[in-house]
Chain A
Amino acid sequence: MIKEVVNQQLISFLKQEFKPGDTIISYKESGTPGIMTPFFVQSKDEIEKITINSFCVNNLAVYLSEFFQSEYYDKTKKGRIILSVKPCDAKSVVQMISDAQISIDKILLIVLECDGVITPKQIKDKIQQEFVNIVTKGNNFIVTLQDKQVISIASEDLKNGKCKEGLLCDLPTYYDYYFIGNEKSAKADKKSKVSPEAPLIQDCISKEEYKMMIENELNKCIRCYACRNICPACFCSDKCIIDKPKLAIPFLDKEVNLANNTLFHMIRFNHVAPNCTECGECERVCPQEIKLSIFYRYFNRFMKKEFGFVPGESDLERQKLLNYRFGEELV
């Protein structure tokens, strides 16, 4: 749950901080219950429309790379980007700074106190039917069903996925951000919540079973590339190798089959593994509900074990595959 106080504090902070030319990236209500949309504010009157609540799932860091790479980006222009994100998304931003994708003096990072977010899918799984409206009240969600029945659900019953484990909630060791909420209590609270690393699926089942499982998952893929487009670590934009049909021999055929799907996901995870912060956006956004967490958990665990590197922890540490310094230990 994200507290209502955070919303009020954020709006009053933004009103002080906003200067003409700035762009605020935040959330607003979309009209569909339980879904928030990213919101871009460029004038002071619109700040009031910003709303932060427990349904703010989107990772806003994606828009940064899009902004800095676009042809409209003018270096001489004075405006900054003011970004209000959850701690887990702040890690993506810090990783992008460490990868030199964005310039620090052009952004203002605001980290919000967060205690887990919820998607409408989680609620649908819980109540097993469609709902018309949903509001938060204290620690509960009040859901209105299609037959005008009203149910109250406690937030503890709903948490699953990435928010349950609390692995991502610790703040990055980056100095230059504003914290909305109580930072000291949030930090202490998160430290106690972090659970020991859960065992990987790869270690629990045999090789044949694992191969079968992957084949089932990858067979579902329709190659819409939504996972690539939403990923803050996939920042090659128009230079992506799978977007080059003009090559004499196209690297990846357009035909959707198991072999091509596997190749696509292999390429993606091979590229993304060094700077994936496990934000889980690729899995959330997948229309076919492929469990991509099988793969990114596996590769992140490998990066930590082999290279001793956790993406998004610090903006000073460079990712290991692109940066080699003499005297550094070899693998």
Chain B
Amino acid sequence: MAKQDLIYLFLCRADKRKKLVEEVEKKFPNIKTINIHCAGRFNPILAFKLLQQKVSGIVLLGCDTGDCHYREGNLFSERRICLAKETLKGFGLDENRLQALWYNPKQIDPVIKSLEEFTNYLSNLANKGDSK
């Protein structure tokens, strides 16, 4: 197996996502999970900083629309991520290295599935020679 890409997974409401965190840690040893209180607290400039270093992908996992514990945190975050992706694109970087997923704390399988897709995408990039 080729050298694995380092991915940071920021997730909100970690107390309700304990099962998911366990499963992710078991399945993907290259993913580091970081707990934040709400997806709305995620600062996009942190993503820029991390992507410039050896981190090759960043995923933000937030609650579904209308499900936010703080009412509107994920809605703010959605707009911020939209601009952050455009910033990456405007500076000649790959905007798909920053991903945002919106799922309920109860859902586990779709998250795992999209994480798999994301790792495949990154390894494809690495095979092309576009690695970090």
Contact = CB atoms under 8 A, between A and B. Distances in A.
Contact of A251 (B49, B72, B83, B91): B49
A210 B88 CA distance: 13
Interface stretch (B26-34, B55-63, B73-81, B112-120): B73-81
Nearest to A274: B83
Contacts of A157: none
B90 interface: yes
Contacts of B88: 266
Interface string A253-296: 00000010011011101100110000000000000000000010
A79 B128 CA distance: 65
Interface in B62-116: 65, 72, 75-76, 78-80, 82-84, 86-88, 90-92
Given A270-B44, A270-B83, A324-B75, A214 B52 contact: no
Contacts, number: 64
A267 B91 contact: no
A321 interface: yes
**Residues of B contacting A: mostly:** helix
A211 B130 CA distance: 14
B90 A269 contact: yes
Given A207-B92, A214-B91, A320 B79 contact: yes
B52 A262 contact: yes
A120 to B, nearest CB: 31
Contact of A211 (B52, B78, B92): B92
Nearest to A259: B52
Contacts of B48: 263, 266-267, 270
Contacts of A307: 79
Interface stretch (A45-53, A138-146, A298-306): A298-306
B45 interface: yes
Interface string B37-53: 00000001100110010
A241 interface: yes
A322 B87 CA distance: 17
Contacts of A302: 83, 86, 90
Nearest to A208: B92
A331 interface: yes
B79 A210 contact: no
B99 to A, nearest CB: 16
Given A263-B48, A267-B45, A331 B87 contact: no
B91 A265 contact: yes
Given A259-B52, A302-B86, A330-B65, A266 B91 contact: yes
A207 B89 CA distance: 10
Given A214-B92, A330-B75, A266 B87 contact: yes
A202 interface: yes
24 contacts: A202-B90, A207-B92, A214-B91, A259-B52, A263-B52, A266-B45, A266-B48, A266-B87, A266-B91, A267-B45, A270-B83, A270-B84, A270-B87, A295-B90, A295-B91, A299-B86, A299-B90, A302-B90, A306-B82, A307-B79, A324-B75, A324-B79, A331-B78, A331-B79
Complex A-B, nearest 10 residue pairs according to Cβ-Cβ distance, in ascending order: A211-B92, A270-B87, A266-B48, A267-B45, A302-B86, A298-B90, A331-B82, A214-B92, A324-B75, A321-B79
Given A324-B75, A330-B75, 7 more contacts: A210-B92, A259-B52, A267-B48, A295-B91, A306-B82, A306-B86, A321-B83
Interface of A: 202, 207, 210-211, 214-215, 241, 251, 259, 262-263, 265-267, 269-270, 273-274, 295, 298-299, 302, 306-307, 320-322, 324, 326, 330-331
